[in-house]
């Protein structure tokens, strides 16, 4: 079995308009959905807070048989 690990990093800025933040989170959801379609499973999400933004790091894993 082969194991594949991917990470997705999303930066959500704190000083932008709510619509901009919502769009940034929507892009994250699109990335997660796209990875799920090809067999990845979300195994971890961490949030890193800074003065200007919150960085969301999603870790995904896919196990390939064979």
The model's pTM is 0.88
Report whether 12 contacts 29 (CB < 8 A).
Answer: no
Domains of the chain by residue range: 2-64
CATH 3.40.50 correct for 2-64:
no
CA 26/CA 65 separation, integer angstroms: 31
What is residue 17's three-state secondary structure? Answer: coil
Give the pLDDT confidence score for residue 65 in this predicted structure. Answer: 79
Q: What are the pLDDT digits (tens) for 7-42?
A: 999 999 987 789 999 999 999 999 999 999 999 999
Q: Residue 60 corresponds to which tokens in the numbers above?
A: 């995904």
Give the pLDDT confidence score for residue 43 in this predicted structure. Answer: 98
């Amino acid at each position: 079995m082969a194991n594949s690990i991917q990470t997705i990093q999303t930066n959500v800025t704190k000083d932008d308009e709510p619509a901009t933040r919502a769009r940034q989170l929507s892009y994250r959801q699109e990335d997660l959905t796209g990875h799920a379609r090809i067999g990845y499973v979300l195994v971890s999400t961490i949030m890193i807070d800074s003065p200007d933004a919150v960085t969301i790091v999603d870790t995904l894993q896919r196990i390939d048989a064979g």
